[in-house]
Chains A and B, each alone.
Chain A
Amino acid sequence: MLKSTLTALTLSALLTSPVLAQGSFENASNASGNSAEASAELALSGVQVALGVVAVPIVIVGAGLDLSGDAASATGGALWDAANAPLEVSQETVIAQPAPNVPQTPQPTREPARETCGDCQ
């Protein structure tokens, strides 16, 4: 009885504490589990959506760092002075594509759609 009371009490203390409670320092992904659903919800809200986007950082000449040594130094940077003017942001809301869903086992190679491949021999 005492043991079970003790266990319940300590677990209760842990689980109700805002310090160590689940999620207090949550670094979990909330990326769209269902992009189609998210896209539809956003569209209903009047939000322009762009799905399946590849991000390419806009690298300013000289932005690269050489960290090859203990005392490596930044390179270049002459053009960076002009790089902190106001920037443009597109109106579309970009959302990530669904999580990858690639089968582990090799899949049969798809036959080409012959009826739409007029030049195939």
Chain B
Amino acid sequence: MKRLIIGLMATCLALPFGAQAGGAESGDSAAGTTFLMPAVAAPFAKQIEQELATKGARVAIVFRSSQPHEKLPDGVSYTHGAFWVYSDLKTPDGRTLKGYAVYNLYHGNGETLPKNLSYLKQDFPYDFVKGSAEEDVAVLIPTPEMQRRLLGMIGTKDYEALHVPDYSLVSNPHDPRYQNCVEFMLDIIAAVTWETKDYAQIKANLAAHFEPTPIRTNLVQRALGPAVDSRIRLDDQKGGIETATSESLSAFMTTHGLLSETYVLDYRPQAAITP
């Protein structure tokens, strides 16, 4: 038993403790996370909108990080992504604003919906950005033809039909059992790319053409993860853990000529003031 503990300690020390490398910060990686203040989130959201609009993007994919970048695993820079769709925004007093609506997949909060289930929700750029812990986002602008196809799909019954409510933080994009926000977007992109709503066909196509991001874990984490957090479900994984990320989605769309542009957009305090 003593040898087992020593071996386990060695395993723990070998974990990719990005945030804990300095030693003093050991502990809960979620604690202490600071999201953007409204006075930053609002102009940053408007800056993103204005830059997308300047580029004529009717549909874009935007990623934020709800954790400081240095606390994320290798190969993962952002934690949440959504479709941004240029829209008419109707106010209760009858005005029509021009801007973007944001189409998300969120997991439950554990109160009104279990955390291992998800739901689709349309909100707005400010809602998206104020959940960020960093003053940057990643932007993917699909080709005009992909934008046209996505615009015809997002928010429709076909779009909703491709939502898999069973949620896993690290769902395997090649397996149909679970979904997270990035996998949902990947499935939608696959649907319009191959022009099919057959989920089995979509998964078969992605198995052949999409390379997910490997996530480093060890046996202890894999064994106990589901017991610690209901959002961690690993029975869809074969071998190592693989999931869809902003990086792997961008690589897939770039490789197959589905993207016009991809870049990281940093907050510039004065950028959103001038229309």
A residues engaging B (CB < 8 A)? Answer: 2, 5-6, 9-32, 38, 41-42, 45, 47, 50, 52-60, 62-65, 67-68, 70-74, 77, 80, 83-96
Contact = CB atoms under 8 A, between A and B. Distances in A.
Given A47-B42, A94-B126, A58 B86 contact: yes
26 contacts: A9-B9, A9-B12, A10-B220, A11-B224, A14-B228, A16-B28, A20-B217, A20-B221, A21-B29, A23-B29, A27-B80, A27-B104, A28-B131, A30-B66, A42-B39, A52-B92, A56-B88, A56-B90, A57-B101, A63-B149, A67-B158, A83-B148, A86-B56, A88-B98, A89-B53, A93-B46
Contacts of B221: 13-14, 17, 19-20
A5 B171 CA distance: 31
Interface string B8-46: 110110011111100000111110010100110011011
Contact of A74 (B1, B46, B152, B275): B152
A31 B123 CA distance: 8
A24 B79 contact: yes
Interface in B113-133: 118, 121-127, 130-131
Contact of A63 (B39, B91, B101, B152): B152
B252 interface: no
- The range of chain B's interface size is 35 or more
A62 B151 CA distance: 10
Nearest to B107: A27
Given A13-B221, A57-B86, A19 B197 contact: no
Interface of chain B, main secondary structure: mixed
Interface of chain A, main secondary structure: loop
B268 interface: no
Nearest to A37: B38
Given A22-B30, A24-B72, A58-B58, A12 B12 contact: yes
A21 B30 contact: yes
A18 B98 contact: no
A42 B169 contact: no
Contact of B148 (A30, A77, A95): A77
Nearest to B222: A20
B61 interface: no
B206 interface: no
A50 B96 CA distance: 11
B26 A19 contact: no
A58 to B, nearest CB: 6
Given A24-B169, A72-B196, A18 B224 contact: no
Interface string B163-188: 00001011000000000110000000
A80 B124 CA distance: 25
Contacts of B52: 87
Given A26-B67, A88-B98, A89-B98, A62 B127 contact: no
A50 B97 contact: yes
A68 B191 CA distance: 11
B80 A38 contact: no
Name the residue in B126, B220, B221 with the highest tally of chain A Cβ atoms < 10 Å from its Cβ.
B126
Nearest to A30: B131
Contacts of B39: 41-42, 45, 47
B71 A18 contact: yes
A53 B97 contact: yes
Nearest to B218: A13
Contacts of A87: 52-54, 56-58, 86, 98
